[in-house]
């Protein structure tokens, strides 16, 4: 189970700040609960909450793109597979 460092409290409102500065975004896909559940305990809550709220898409005028990791999983399974927790990337 991932435990974030105590300093992470500073990022509590990071999504609010992010969208005030970069309000334009395009949602390509909203992840379902099953997909998000695959990463619970492996990632901090903030990235999972972000994907749940805003989905996969393009942000910051095209400079940031969040993709469904399963779309690219086969690229990483062999060279980057972590056999301890079964996660290749996210």
pLDDT at 9 over 60: no
The pLDDT-based confidence of 90 (bands split at 50, 70, 90) is: very low
Q: Give the HSE-up count for residue 89: Cα atoms under 13 Å, Cβ half-sphere.
A: 15
In a domain, 71, yes or no: yes
pLDDT tens digits, one per residue of 29-82: 999 999 999 888 888 888 888 889 889 999 888 888 989 988 888 776 666 556
Average pLDDT over residues 21-25: 87
Is residue 50 within 8 Å of 15, Cβ to Cβ?
yes
Neighbours of 42 (CB within 10 A): 14
Q: What is the number of structural domains in the chain?
A: 1
Q: Say what the pLDDT of residue 16 is.
A: 77
In a domain, 86, yes or no: no
Kindly report the pTM of this predicted structure. 0.62
Domain encompassing residue 27 = 14-80
In a domain, 6, yes or no: no
**CA 43 from centre of chain:** 8
List the one residue out of 78, 77, 31, 22 whose CA is nearest residue 53: 31
């Amino acid at each position: 189970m991932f435990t974030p460092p105590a300093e992470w409290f500073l990022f509590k409102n990071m999504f609010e700040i992010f969208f005030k500065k970069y309000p334009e975004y395009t949602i390509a896909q909203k992840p379902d609960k099953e997909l998000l559940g695959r990463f619970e305990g492996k990632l901090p809550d903030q990235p999972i909450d972000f994907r749940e709220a805003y989905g996969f898409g393009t942000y910051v005028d095209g400079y940031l793109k969040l993709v469904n990791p399963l779309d690219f999983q086969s690229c990483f399974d062999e060279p980057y597979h972590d056999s301890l927790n079964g996660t290749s990337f996210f």
